[in-house]
Amino acid sequence: MFIYEKKLQYPVRVSGKDVRMAQAVLNQYGGADGEMSASMNYLTQRFSMPLNETKGLLTDIGTEELGHMEMVATLFKKLIEGATKDELIAAGMGGYYANHETCPFLLDASGVPWESKYTQAKGDPVADLYNDMAAEQKARATYESLIVLTDDPLVKDTLRWLREREIVHFQRFGEGLRLVEEYAGRQKYF
Amino acid sequence: MNIINIAFDIFQYKLIMKGMKILYMNQTDNYEPLVPYMPENPVPGYAYVPYQINPLYFNNINEAFVHGTVFPELVTPYSEFFQRGVQS
Amino acid sequence: MINNRYNQLFNEESSMLLDIQKLQFAIYDLSLYLDTHPNDPVALYKHNMLTQQLQQLRSTYEERFGILSIMGNESGNTWRYINSPWPWER
């Protein structure tokens, strides 16, 4: 079951508008390696995990990624809120504005809509955990690129925090993998 | 203060500390990690991530919040090895 | 003068919410650790300490400023859950 808590996991602040950065940040919302893909990935894969430890892990990390989705959407909204017509058109967001005004929508930075092809649920626990570890690495790399793209120290702070969470998730999935491979006492070799 | 009183206080203090140590050790003595830090017999064709055992914690909640984790050893363990195309 | 009082109340509310955010974050990270280390006694002890602190802080906050989730106990005489500011407006 899912209940909403009326707060963000970490405060999101910006120094001012930056429509180009908003477009880049949208990648982490509705993109292939974004938080939406991550949370849907984990919340669907948990149904065919053999160990209680991994079931709990995937549920908790999936829920946390939903919270991160909220943070990224807030960041987008704060970066694009109050932009003038010229700023929007200069950043290439004129079409986005016509369609969605300043509301975050599940697209990536190039306007490609989100699809479930970005998620995977192979059903095999080892393959799924490797996939999740890769997803965390991709998200981390995207956050590093986003940190490079902005000059605003407040935005950098939020992105750096989100990147650190991806590193921690990678470690947890690695441990989950160790448990599935060794603790479950499997005798098969893949 | 009488020297005997002081000596007795120190004796009581040491007894209490020893008792607490025994209590504490009993709690953590039975901790058997589910898997070792790295596997004893690593096999090719597998990837292994180290399993945290008795890690350090940030004592201060504020520091943990700012860094992004409660474990100092997980704070950006990546080195500056890879060159990025665009320097910030 | 009324503005100052309002600002002061808002700042108090923000700082209390920030404390709740910090505690909840520590508990969340510790829960992820406990998912893969279910028998670690130090982590369990820390989790218990933090959740007790959180319960106290939460009940104080929810009594004064309104509930944080719909499962909370609303002690005011209006449904303060929907009040501004929402998390993305702070």
Tell me the per-residue pLDDT of C31-66, one tens digit each, with 9 for 90 and over.
999 999 999 999 999 999 999 999 999 999 999 999
Which pLDDT belongs to residue A190?
46
Which pLDDT belongs to residue B23?
46
User: The domain A19-182: what is its CATH number?
Assistant: 1.20.1260.10
B52, B18: one domain: no
Write out the two tokens for A105: 């929508």
Chain B partners within 8 Å of A7 (Cβ)? none
B10, B40: one domain: no
Q: Which residues of chain B have pLDDT under 50?
A: 19-26, 88
B contact test, residue of A9, A68, A157, A171 with most B CBs within 10 A: A171
| Count of domains forming chain B | 2
Which pLDDT belongs to residue A99?
93
- In a domain? residue B18: yes
Beta carbons of B84 and A144 less than 8 angstroms apart? yes
- In a domain? residue B6: yes
Which pLDDT belongs to residue C70?
93
Which pLDDT belongs to residue A49?
92
B16, B49: one domain: no
Q: What is the mean pLDDT of residues C4-15?
A: 85
- In a domain? residue B23: yes
- Residue identified by tokens 């999740």 is A132
Question: Which residue range(s) make up the domain with B20?
Answer: 1-31
Q: Which residues of chain A have pLDDT under 50?
A: 187-190
| Count of domains forming chain C | 1
B7, B26: one domain: yes
pTM listed for this prediction: 0.87
B26, B8: one domain: yes
Contact call for B64 and C25, based on CB within 8 A: yes
Question: Which residue range(s) make up the domain with C12?
Answer: 2-89
Q: Which residue of C has its CA nearest to A9?
A: C21
Contact call for B49 and A183, based on CB within 8 A: no
Chain C partners within 8 Å of B65 (Cβ)? 21-22, 25-26
Of A36, A38, A152, give the one whose Cα is nearest residue A105: A36
Which pLDDT belongs to residue A187?
43
- Residue identified by tokens 């989730």 is C69
Where residue C7 falls among pLDDT bands split at 50, 70, 90? confident
The mean of the pLDDT values for chain C is: 92
- In a domain? residue B58: yes
Which pLDDT belongs to residue B85?
53
Where residue C1 falls among pLDDT bands split at 50, 70, 90? low
Q: Is C32 on the interface with A (CB under 8 A)?
A: yes
For residue A82, give every residue at least 6 positions away whose Cβ sits within 8 Å of its Cβ, in sequence order, or none.
A17
Contact call for B69 and A144, based on CB within 8 A: no
B45, B57: one domain: yes
Which pLDDT belongs to residue A105?
95
B68, B45: one domain: yes
Angle between helices A52-80 and C2-36 (to 10 degrees): 150
- In a domain? residue B83: no
Q: Which residue of B has its CA nearest to C34?
A: B52
- In a domain? residue B70: yes
Distance from the Cα of B24 to chain A's closest Cα (Å) equals 26
Does the structure show a pLDDT above 60 at C87? yes
| Alpha carbon distance B33, A181 (integer Å) | 15
Q: What are phi and psi of B44, to 5 degrees?
A: -65, 150
Q: Give start and end residues of each alpha helix (H) in A81-152.
A: 85-90, 94-100, 125-149
- In a domain? residue B55: yes
